[in-house]
Structure 1
Amino acid sequence: MACSLLVWARGWRGAEVSMIVDVDLLILLSLACFICLLTSIVGLSGSLLNSRPILALYTFLLWPCLVSKLVVGYISYKRANFRLDRKLNMVWSRYLTNLDRLRIQENLQCCGYYSPLHQATFSRMCYPRTNLPGCKGPLFAAESLSLRRLYRATFSLVFVHLVNILVSLLCSNHVNVNFGKGLTPRRYRLNGTHVEINAAGAMRELDDLDEYRRRSMKRQLGLGLANMDRDEALRHHQERESLHYSSS
């Protein structure tokens, strides 16, 4: 989309030639970019809202995007590799106006098609005795370069787009209200070291608890023996007192 907008805005020197000769391809490219941008907005909205219907619409819109990219890539590939010179001859002689020829001549620094005497639009730089070459060679080189870049970039994006379609189809049944929610932050995630440390701490606590239980049992046992001794001493004291009262 950025490149198509720069071409419409004449962002570089060869953009003028592309706007005149490949205006139909430029329109198709702009439409494909608009469809892809609309589809990306729909997909982003569905991801942010966790909406399965919106994401289903996004998956459906990926197919028109693929078709539009294939159309642009096929037309540019066919135009660049199947008799481009004859196509340029026909365009120059039948479809271009004098103003279009003048703009191409000023942009490519040439005059006429084969020579300044062949279908030229005369100006201060283009006249019958000028030293400027014909526009066939520069126009062919510029068109071949721009078309080659266009279909290579388009076909390279097609493979990425196919991966996107595959991922969207695989993930279409995994999106619900809880999608992406409740994930533990990375700093709080456990690993093997954390598990070993926690296990060692738990073992120490169990050992401390067993030691506490043993000490408690010993303490209770000691208290029980002390109580038995005290009861026995009290019983002996009571027996002696009863004997003393009986004797008296």
Structure 2
Amino acid sequence: MEKVDRWTTHKWCLLSSVCTVLVYGVAGLICALMTWFRTWENADVMYVADYDILMLITLASSILLITFLVGISGTLLNSRPILAVYALLLWPAFIAILSIGYTGYKRYAFALDRKLNLAWSQWYTPVGRLTIQNALRCCGYYDALHEATASTQCYPRTPLPGCKGKLYRFEHENLATIWSAAFALVPLHIANIVVSLLCANHVTRTFGKGIMPKRYWLSGADVRADAERLMGTFPDGRPVVRPGSTRPPSSTLFREDKEETASLLENDWNGTASNGLRLVPQDVNEQALCTVPLLHSSR
């Protein structure tokens, strides 16, 4: 991993792009989780009426988060193969965002009241109708006598109004928010795709993979041609002979010491012979040498 001060401009742009993917991916996932766990008002209505859109939001947010993890790993590690996978994953996320916007806009713009009437009559289960009635404080679709699910608050003579008006207003506002947010992310996501395609190959200052192109590789014929050219440049050249090992000469100090020792031994030899000592060979041990008597003592 390079130091921050050595990062290229392309790497900074790529890092910013990856962070924007994280932002709207996390935002979508938070909204989806808040709806799944019913943490905001009328979340039950969206869970029943727009279940397919809720699934698409969850799927798109998950893809965006996975794409972010791949992108941030490739950016920090300067890995171009990982960044190629990141650029590829941006396309499924783009399709998921378009699916959310298209589904929400189609339901919002084309006969929303008729679609809600059909859904209330054929698609919603009794439990789903009861969930909408409890969330919107209504009973039945047109009134309490029209396909209502009985409960402690919903009965034939209840003062609660029908759910058509409240459900229509909620769906009209909720769907408008969904498709507007989805289509607003489309230009930003396209910009992220363009940045990934342009900057992924320039995350470092090294051109390409840092490998010499194959057209510039040396072949055996090239090596032989270079060798012949060098031999032609030095025609009289002879092979280098390795010198043999030589014995270093002894020092002058050692020779003088040796000569002095030899002269001392010669003087000792002459002195012993004049005193009448019997000479003993050098291989006799020291104890035997000490027991040799003098010649004048034997006389």
The two structures have a TM-score, normalised by structure 2, of: 0.58
Deviation at 1:177, TM superposition (A): 7.3
Match for residue 54 of structure 2 among 17, 26, 30: 26
Pairing 1:90–2:118 present: yes
For residue 135 of structure 2, what is the aligned residue in structure 1? 107
Partner Cα separation in structure 1 for residue 86 and residue 205 of structure 2: 18
Judge conservation of contact 1:110–1:133 (CA < 8 Å) in 2.
yes
Render the CA deviation track for 1:112-154: whole Å, top value 9, x for unaligned. Answer: 0000111011111111111111000000111111111011111
Partner Cα separation in structure 1 for residue 49 and residue 118 of structure 2: 11
For residue 245 of structure 1, what is the aligned residue in structure 2? none
Where in structure 2 are the equivalents of 1:71-90 lying within 5 Å? 71-90=99-118
**Aligned residue-pair number:** 179
- Secondary structure in structure 2 of the residue aligned to 1:171: helix
For residue 58 of structure 1, what is the aligned residue in structure 2? 86
Deviation at 1:176, TM superposition (A): 3.2
For residue 232 of structure 1, what is the aligned residue in structure 2? none
Gaps of 5+ in 1: 180-248
Partner Cα separation in structure 2 for residue 68 and residue 122 of structure 1: 38
Deviation at 1:39, TM superposition (A): 0.5
Partner Cα separation in structure 2 for residue 127 and residue 74 of structure 1: 38
Match for residue 95 of structure 2 among 55, 67, 70: 67
- Secondary structure in structure 2 of the residue aligned to 1:63: helix
Deviation at 1:17, TM superposition (A): 0.5
Judge conservation of contact 1:50–1:177 (CA < 8 Å) in 2.
no
For residue 177 of structure 2, what is the aligned residue in structure 1? 149
Partner Cα separation in structure 2 for residue 35 and residue 125 of structure 1: 42
Pairing 1:46–2:53 present: no
- Secondary structure in structure 1 of the residue aligned to 2:66: helix
Where in structure 2 are the equivalents of 1:1-248 lying within 5 Å? 1-176=29-204
Judge conservation of contact 1:52–1:176 (CA < 8 Å) in 2.
no
Judge conservation of contact 1:114–1:136 (CA < 8 Å) in 2.
yes
Deviation at 1:178, TM superposition (A): 6.4
Render the CA deviation track for 1:68-95: whole Å, top value 9, x for unaligned. Answer: 1001110000001111111111110011
Give the superposed CA RMSD.
1.4
Partner Cα separation in structure 2 for residue 31 and residue 94 of structure 1: 26
Judge conservation of contact 1:51–1:176 (CA < 8 Å) in 2.
no
Deviation at 1:97, TM superposition (A): 1.5
Higher radius of gyration, 1 or 2: 2
Judge conservation of contact 1:42–1:55 (CA < 8 Å) in 2.
yes
Percent of aligned pairs with the same residue? 53
- Secondary structure in structure 2 of the residue aligned to 1:120: coil
Partner Cα separation in structure 2 for residue 100 and residue 63 of structure 1: 35
Deviation at 1:48, TM superposition (A): 1.0
Partner Cα separation in structure 2 for residue 32 and residue 54 of structure 1: 20
Partner Cα separation in structure 2 for residue 165 and residue 102 of structure 1: 44
Partner Cα separation in structure 2 for residue 48 and residue 173 of structure 1: 14
- Secondary structure in structure 2 of the residue aligned to 1:166: helix
